[in-house]
Structure 1
Amino acid sequence: MFLKDHDMTSIVQRIARQALVTFRSPPRVGEEAAKSFLENHSKLKSLMTEVRAADLKLVPRRADDSSPGVPPPLPYHHGAPPVTYMHICETDHFSMGVFLLKSGASIPLHDHPGMHGMLKVMYGKVRISCFDRLERPAGSPQVAPPLPPAQMDALRRSMLRSTGEYTEESGPCVLSPDRDNLHQIDAVDGPTAFMDILAPPYDPDDGRDCHYYKVLTEAEVKNTEQKEKEVWLMEISQPPDFWCGGEPYPGPEVRL
């Protein structure tokens, strides 16, 4: 009996190859996606739907498990980090890895400038709140919150698009440069882990640095399909109670 190539190749390897094909020539910001990109993106999403913790040799952790990791040398960081990251692979076109959140931990509201992304829970449960940046139209009635002039430049008019909970049985959470690009991720009811693809990877030298935000105000906006919330976000420094350590990835090797 002969096995087909995809039967002998780990699903992690197949996901990485499909990510490379998908994001080698992505649409530019504001540009309509070509049919080939949409087809490849759909294939990637299908593969991400299939992957499970066992495929990455991840063992779900209990709330009292301590996870290894090396926090950065800042005076207010004590003990194990609330979030750790397992690096799987990275190219110029995408990065892939696993984030592990301790019970009660959060990845604060942050953006992905000009980037696509796909997130799939491996175990546990996460709550994801997704936002979009909005351009303020001329004559907009929405008034910015009263702040000192020095802080006004840090304001961002945005829309809370959705808040949902995801488990290993859920499909991937998808973001694009134009949709659901800002999000906050909270561990719910215990430790959790999710596989993460970002395309292209963060690169401060190329204008793709990570920025953090906090929500200032909300005003309900009625949409034909659902109620969404218009909000003001303020760009802030990385919150002092959040930092990310690293730990080894135990799963199948990826070759590209």
Structure 2
Amino acid sequence: MASVVQRLARQARLTFTFPPRVGEEPGRFFLENLAELRRMMFEVQAADLRLVPVPQRAESCSVPVSYMHICETEQFSMGVFLLRPGASIPLHDHPDMHGLLRVLYGTVRLSCLDRPVPVQYAVRGPPLLRSVLRSSALYTEHSGPCVLHPDRDNLHRVEVVDGPSAFLDILAPPYDPDQGRDCHYYRVLGGPEPAVSGTEVWVTEVPQPEEFRCGGEQYQGPPVRL
């Protein structure tokens, strides 16, 4: 019998083999498969990936964040992010991509903003970008997956509230700089990020923050064959 993670990978491939084009309304087939993928992802537990929340491992890691690669195809990538206590992943984007994030243990705060729109002003410096804060909420192993879309909720920041924490991550299609899908980082302008959903915010693109480092960790769970 196929493992939970094997079945999840097959559903991800089915869901994202024919995704809607950017700006196109998703069809019923895609929406039904995405709903099934969300349902299956919600059922995944840390034990299904042979992932044990051992604080000592997270504390001893030399980097604040580690990535555990599970599998990747042209349609999607899947892996697990491991975060030390107090760690965070800065505000970043997922160009023309869908994403699903499922917390496996610990508590994280996810802040999601829409894909920013450039605004022309006769000022010097980096371009000003207009966005909208869609949500800022706490997620635990009892929460459903957070879903990112190519335009809505495309930017997000992950902050550990109760660490260490880990979350399962699916991106479709995967990052690929050669195809214009590179990761960009942003900073909210004008003080602290608002907490009210629907609030307009201004952001600007910034280099990858120096304090953010991401290492690698070996996946020890059930194999995935696609």
Please, what TM-score do these two structures have when normalized by structure 1? 0.83
Following superposition, the deviation at residue 190 of structure 1 comes to 1.6
**C-alpha separation between the residues in 2 aligned to 1:117 and 1:14?**
18
* Structure number, greater radius of gyration: 1
- Taking structure 1 as reference, are residues 64 and 253 closer, same or farther at Cα in structure 2, changes over 3 Å only? closer
Q: After TM superposition, list the pairs within 5 Å mapping 1:141-180 onto structure 2.
A: 149-151=124-126, 153=127, 155-180=128-153
Structure 2 residue 158 is matched with structure 1 residue 185 = yes
Contact 1:219 1:230 in 2 (8 A): no
- Taking structure 1 as reference, are residues 219 and 191 closer, same or farther at Cα in structure 2, changes over 3 Å only? closer
Contact 2:93 2:115 in 1 (8 A): no
1:82 paired residue number: 64
The CA deviation string for residues 11-60 of structure 1, in whole angstroms up to 9 with x for no partner, is 10000000000000100111010110011111100000100000000011
**C-alpha separation between the residues in 2 aligned to 1:239 and 1:53?**
29
Amino acid at match of 2:125: A
Query: Partner of 1:13: helix, strand, or coil?
Result: helix
Contact 2:119 2:129 in 1 (8 A): no
How many residues are paired up? 225
User: Which one of the candidate residues 202, 210, 232 is aligned to 2:183?
Assistant: 210
Amino acid at match of 1:106: S
User: Which one of the candidate residues 26, 29, 44 is aligned to 1:33?
Assistant: 26
2:221 paired residue number: 251
The CA deviation string for residues 160-182 of structure 1, in whole angstroms up to 9 with x for no partner, is 11101000010000011021000
Following superposition, the deviation at residue 148 of structure 1 comes to 5.7
**C-alpha separation between the residues in 1 aligned to 2:166 and 2:187?**
24
Task: List 4+ stretches of structure 1 deviating above 2 A.
Answer: 63-68, 133-138, 217-221
**C-alpha separation between the residues in 1 aligned to 2:17 and 2:67?**
24
Structure 2 residue 170 is matched with structure 1 residue 197 = yes
Q: After TM superposition, list the pairs within 5 Å mapping 1:1-256 onto structure 2.
A: 8-62=1-55, 65-68=58-61, 80-135=62-117, 149-151=124-126, 153=127, 155-217=128-190, 227-256=197-226
Amino acid at match of 2:8: I
- Taking structure 1 as reference, are residues 64 and 97 closer, same or farther at Cα in structure 2, changes over 3 Å only? closer
Amino acid at match of 1:61: V
Following superposition, the deviation at residue 241 of structure 1 comes to 0.4
Contact 1:130 1:160 in 2 (8 A): yes
Amino acid at match of 1:171: G
Following superposition, the deviation at residue 204 of structure 1 comes to 0.4
Structure 1: which 5+ residue stretches go unaligned? 1-7, 69-79, 139-143
Contact 2:115 2:150 in 1 (8 A): no
